[in-house]
Amino acid sequence: MDFSGKTVLITGATGLIGSTLAETFSQAGAEVVSAVRDISRARGRAVAYDAAKPLNFDFRADYIIHAACSAHPLAYSTDPAGVMRANLTGTMNLLDYARETGARMLFLSSGEIYGSAPRRESGFTEEETGQIDPMNPRSCYPESKRAAETMVAAWVKQYDTDALVARLCHVYGPSIARSNSRADAQFLRKAVSGEDIVMKSDGSQVRSFLYVRDAAEALMLLCQKGVRGQAYNVAGHWVHSIREYAETLARLAGVKVVFENPDDAEKAGYSRVNRAVLDPSKIEKLGFESRTSLEQGLTEMLNICRNNAMGW
């Protein structure tokens, strides 16, 4: 894909997905502007950004990728209000910026918006919705993502803003921060250190997994070919349980998987959805193909982190 001569604004550009997007867009010829809290952590051109505060940008972008979000369990259990504030205020401000400047905006949502629903082997399609308990503080993440998606639909309808939604499955890769409280980040820390991987559940939850490089390619494709006002699942056909993920990583790292009970804060941040599988048919019709299997992705991730190439 060629983005030569285009300016791409990426919020959360030092995160798992944002940092990979920044790299791949740069390789595709774009000028990338990283909108981040800590400018010192960003590469290239960067601007200060706080999703909960008004924008103060003095430039125009051709594309806006809204990837900034506190997407980890500890935030859900200790700062649910902050999670909602950033998702809602940040999205609204960026939609107004896109409306005023004529940029195309891609909002990064989550497969968690599907909530709990009857088991579907083929996965959720974009037309389906499940149930989410609005009085559970853990719902701060999926409910604010849902509301932000409705903002996208509203701005498209009322203001003809060029915006669309990407619903990401469980994305993993070496660009995840060491400090992230997600289970896969904890697994990776142990594996890189040569220690046994600690699981704090039975690992029976099933997810669609997608390697971060494949996810970045899918998002770039949506920027070029996605239809405004529509949502797309960003997933492939790699479906595994959390336990399978942990056991594969442990085997590659030469360690074992052991089990411990979670503390109350950890338990409060866990998703209660047992099966979160997304149907990728819609984005595949645009030409997307997920090429990296779980074992291939985990092998590459482990090697990169062991070599400290991503700051591990």
Q: pLDDT tens-digit profile of 136-163?
A: 999 999 999 999 999 999 999 999 999 9
Residue 57's pLDDT is: 94
Residue 308's pLDDT is: 77
Q: What whole-number distance in Å separates Cα of residue 167 and Cα of residue 169? A: 7
Rounded mean pLDDT of 90-103? Answer: 97
Confirm whether pTM is higher than 0.85. Answer: yes
Residue 260's pLDDT is: 86
Query: DSSP character for 227?
Result: P
10-14, 70-74, 122-126, 290-294: the lowest-pLDDT one: 70-74
In the chain, pLDDT over 90 holds for what percent of residues?
Answer: 78
The burial class, CB within 10 Å (0-12 / 13-18 / 19+), for 39 is middle
6, 62, 232, 253, 302 from 20: Cα distances, Å = 17, 19, 19, 24, 16
Structure-block tokens of residue 298? 């985990």
pLDDT reading at 269 higher than 60: no
Residues contacting 229, CB < 8 A, separation 6+: 152, 153, 156, 157, 163, 164
What does the angle CA 123 – CA 124 – CA 128 come to, to the nearest 5 degrees?
Answer: 155
Question: What pLDDT digit, counting tens, does each position of 226-255 carry?
Answer: 999 999 999 999 999 999 999 999 999 999
For the chain, domains (ranges, CATH) are 7-306 (3.40.50.720)
> Given the structure tokens 């896969």, which residue do they identify?
184
The burial class, CB within 10 Å (0-12 / 13-18 / 19+), for 307 is exposed
Phi, psi of 187 (to 5 degrees): -60, -45
Other Cβ atoms closer than 10 A to 218 = 27
Average predicted confidence (pLDDT) for the chain: 93
pLDDT reading at 120 higher than 60: yes
Residues contacting 260, CB < 8 A, separation 6+: 198, 199, 200
